[in-house]
Structure 1
Amino acid sequence: MQRSRLPILVPPMLLLAAAALSTSAWAADYQPTVLVRFSGSAAAPAGASPITPPLLSADGKLYGVTQTGMPALGAYGQLPQGTAYTLDPATALYSAVALGDFGRNYGNLVQRSDGLIYGRTSASMFNASSYSSTLTGVPALLRIDKGVPTPIAPRGADQVPFYTTSFLPGGSAAIDANGVIYFSGGSSSLWRMNADESVQQLVNFRLPAYLKVVPNGTRSTTYYTKGDGSVIASVWSTTDQALYGITSTTSGVAGDPDLVPSGDKPAGTLFRIRAADIKTDGASTVEVLHTFASVRDGQPFTGDTNQTGLLEDGDWLYGTSFYHGLGTTGQMIDGGSVWRMRKSDPSTFQTVHHFRSDAATDGTADGDGSSPFGPLVKAADGNIYGTTARDGRVMNTKTAAAAKAAIGAGALFRIKVGSAADRADDVVEVLYRFDPARDGARPVGLTAGPIKNNVQKLYGATRYGGGDGNTYDGSDTIPGYGTVYSVDVSVPAATVSSLTASASSVTTGDRVTLSWTSTNASVCRASGAWTGSKAVTGSEEVTPLAGNNVYTLQCETAQGEQSATRSVTVKATTAVSSNTGSSYNTGDLKDEGGGGGGPMSELLLAVLLALSVFHRWRA
């Protein structure tokens, strides 16, 4: 099928138009600014139903993909077709291109240092004739160059394309400093894409050595101790030179059953693969750091509708689970959780918050978020932000079995990172609840944006809503095609709290001690009578020159936001000489002090001698 290359341009005012609806005072500071309201079709602004937030590129533009919005693919129209979109936040100019035979992207986009952006899918029509069945789609990779998408056939290290039902790329992707991309291949496998766009399998989570068979009456259950299903979240740690990731399925066999409480089920694993232990035959060494218990920890689950968060913050990992375990009949229990773990000590794994409890500002469980969805981000204010796909303001009223399920449009939450060494004082807060019509519904995570004037932009997307009249119908369904939005986060400004001198007036040559303190700064710089980079807090001895010496200090945040300057003046005065006169007694040639020595004294002596001789001659 021929792919459209003609971008659809939308005037800025059309994108920024939004209904002026009231919002509660506590949420006003975090109310999203809608940048795009998807049309649901090829009409501007083209696209519908994004499942990941846009990627902020090095060129300052936002790049993203939608799941639908273009004519479906396949003989029966069975495969949805989405768009690749570009949004310039500075001008609000939006353009979109149909994904064509690629269909739709699964999971997040990642960008290499050369500017190329990559995605993946398990269900395309690209080179479908090479595949044994096209009803469910063909695996393919995606390259986006300056907004233009191009499908890529999977190729091994020998550069020969391959097609197999066991390669189903999706899930979460991570990228290292060399541009190597790590991603789920489905079917309990982990793969990587190399710089030449070839792919290699790194892990087969179902190797015989990883299996544990447990008798169950007349039958037995096979557990996959390293994990199973898809790699649903991953992050590359440059510091550790290791990949951290999460596996999960709802089968109850993803993990070692001996590592979860009795009666609970293993729901997935948190693992680490060090760079030195990577192999390209599927047998890389996998170190399990934690086995999730479905009820105790929550269910980290993904798919085209669910995305799990994983974030590295120094020596800590933070993540989410989408559900709060499985019910007796196998149904997902509403809620989900936020957890953290120190990378160097897996025993520190701790649930920070179970959603549908008490994180809402109004203190009610029904107002809490539910089902955390998508990437977490660390903002410049030092806190971690995320979104939940639902909240408890609205409950399902159409299905008796789901009557206690939260179906509110979703929430923005913050993890206030604590100051304790073990971070036991972390606090989760719900900051804002989405309005289906005004903001969109079912937010899909966040991307950190730039900082200007001590305000950082966070960018996100919603999967549904965003249109006039979009509201609840009593079930989990919300009409509308989704939005792209931004949220402002105030970043503490750098300040020079104090700058003092040990003396304001000195004699030239005397030394003076300057002392200073600052807040929210990463570096300070001196100017005026002193120069150079300075510590954020400190003291330094200086020697003022004659006159007024103005010492100025300015500090800045780690993001380069500068503080106001602060100055202190020290006046240095030259000491006055004490002159006691000179003797003109020609019989006494010794120095009498008071500055009488030197060449001028010798000349005066010669004149006096000449006068003496002249007077004697006349006599």
Structure 2
Amino acid sequence: MRYANGQQTAHLVPLKLEGTLTPIMQTQVNREPTKRASGVSLNRRLYSIPFPSIYHLALFSLVTFLLSPATRATTFEEIFGFARDAANPTDSLIQGTNGDFYGTTIAGGTGGLGTIFKLTSTGQLITLVSFTGANGSYPRGTLAMDDAGNLFGTTYAGGNSNRGTIFELTTTGILITLYHFGNGPAANPYGGLVRGTNGNFYGTTETYGSLFQISPAGTFTNLTSFFGLRGFSLNGSLLPSSDGNFYGMAGVKAFSQTGGMCFRLYPDGSLDSLFQFSGTNGYRLYSDRPYGGLSLGANGKLYGTSTSGGMSNLGTIYSLTKDGAFTQISDFTGTNWHPQGAFPFSAPALGSDGRMYGSTVAGGQFNQGTIYTVDTNDFVAFLFSFSGTNGSQPYGRLLPASDGKLYGTTRSGGAYNSGTVFSLTTNGLLDTLASFPAPASVQTVPYLIPGSDGQVYGTTLNLTNRTGTLFHIGPDGSLSTIASFPSTAGTIHGPLARANDGNFYGTTSDGGSNNVGTIFKLSTSGSISQLFSFSVTNGANPFSGLIQGADGNFYGTTSTGGDSNDGTVFKSTPDGILTTLAFFSGTNGANPYAGLLQGSDCAFYGTTSSGGDSTNGTIFKITADGILTTLASFSGTNGANPYASLIQDRDGNLYGTTTAGGIPGSGSYASGYGTIFELTTNNDLITLFAFSGTNGNTPFAPLFLTADGSLYGTTAWGGPDGAGTVFKLTNSGDLVTLHSFSFTDGGNPYGGLVQGSDGYLYGTTTASGGGKPAIFRIYEFPVLHLNFLGNQIQLAWPSSATNFQLESSFDLSSSTNWIAVPTMPFTNGLQVIVPEPVSTMKFYRMRKP
């Protein structure tokens, strides 16, 4: 049993709340005929309010109503988000009439799904929009601008079907989704948009190989899906021409043996094939697999590039007349000699001097890419070689600007290796205008610990240089860094233990003298000292953190190392003297990633992620002197691969989660979506719940048990948006999804929940699948109960709902009429109870400041 049954109570009817009211559920309220006079049914709405103060309001009179138990309203709040800046631009820029430049990135932003940015004429880099997934993700291709300065473009993915969107960004900064691509006959736009002479926009899709038209108002027309039927893939933008037609090129799909083609598109959707590439495999002396669209030269010819072909199979430059006459101008060799460079991914652009300017993503002096020029006689010359620090991999087409310079972006390189914006003079002088920051440099370690000081503590990991920090966050959401970890300390994966001496103790999964992990101490003054370095024979790669036992020593597990390299259980004194208590051998379990729990019997309990009877993991018990007992083995159907620590109820039963097993799925979830389990004191392993994917999957985190017997936890994946969930499992076995992540509010909560002194449950998101790492808190509004006892009533609410003030009023006409109920509350373990004398008419509310 997770809790003992209390006396039956009647729920008070929530009637009214101050502020803007949002109905969250409709319920039926009936008089109870066995205890009250019969009467008619009444309808009431349960309301929540969208501002910080939380109220539950109840009306009591001589007639008391019984409200059937209802789902509690839940408040979710992201209280701190670790920013992800725009990063990795891959396409060309456009210039506005004000001189500012506009472009897109395929990474970074608030949700990590790409951005639209502006580079001002003064060199300031500004993120205008962060894509959320719902409005698109991973924008690809060049933006287009109308006469009013509104921007139009495409995203490769996201939207209603995750197949991409067409959007408009107004001059006032409002992003409008004009069109959501579906499952056909067009999907995944790649080349961006171009504006036709009729004011409509035209673009291409990679999937199905379609050409489309869309009006500024969002009227979408699919012009043709011919290319997909022929094995082609449209991965470049269209070129509008003064003759009213469009010119473009089609690449190839991986399964196709065709080499691509150049075509002309007429406004009515019909098209001509101007030139067919060979597509023969192997090293070719001619162009193969064109990429990036076409450009118009001063001589009226069309210019393009191929990513392969040529003498070294590193790509070529070619020209094409509008009648289809093809000329291969030059090969790329990748050497330090003419023409230099390798793998061009965009067509050259026409400069103000009549020459064509283009780029390659590799080759050149430093093999970081080049910029080249083609004169009017089709002579190719090397102009600039990127070095990495000033940029690397220029994928997008260059933009000849009004000042005579060429402007462009690099996908990587720069100060943070996340790309740059640059300008280049026609004589080869480059100026790096801006470097994009690293998009995901900071990630939360997925475990928090509550402090006795009212703060919640956690750690971060810098993915770039492997440094980290220890922080605490207060109820007001303010985050303060307490200490910084150097890169030499190793990688912290598990939670820190705050010991009875006030210092923090923990483990690193690597680092130390053998680079297989350490035990360290972080003092209250912020100094870090290494206490022990693992050596494989005594354990390696601890992922679980430490717990302090009742004897003052620290206990933990290593995921590998030991006699069979299947992991160990160890004990360490506060000074770092280590004793290996047990070695796993496979049959008794293997690879414990979870930390230990000290039970009410003073023994330690834990899980192994594999090994046991069916190699799906085990639950074990170990005494302080090293006697190891396997209590249960997972079979797959009752769960598999537990990674979370266990918790224990007051009767001694154990609870936990498995990352797999249970209900079989498909693909990577064929073995199941994970389970919640109980191990009774008789060692009976019971599956309490099996996830199905839509309600979450892959729970990595330990559970949190409240006084009413409910289990709270997280799933790292699954839910409606596939980004993970926060859930509650009631004592009756019903799973309630309290929150589903969508990457815009974090995503992928690998860690569990802890309760702060304010009563909220706190957690972290790692955003490993996208989005930003964040710290969140969640709270369920408590249900206020009523007992009628003669001339007295008892108002009660769950004792897990802390820091609430019970207030009463005889008049709802003013918000100033509320006063605190002076009666002292008492508890029965599960409930906070306030006795009150009966009044003719009185209102009650619970307020959380």
Pick the TM interval, shorter chain. Answer: 0.3 to 0.5
In our comparison, the structure showing a higher alpha carbon Rg is 1
TM-score in terms of structure 1 length: 0.37
Between structures 1 and 2, the one with greater helix share:
1
TM-score in terms of structure 2 length: 0.27
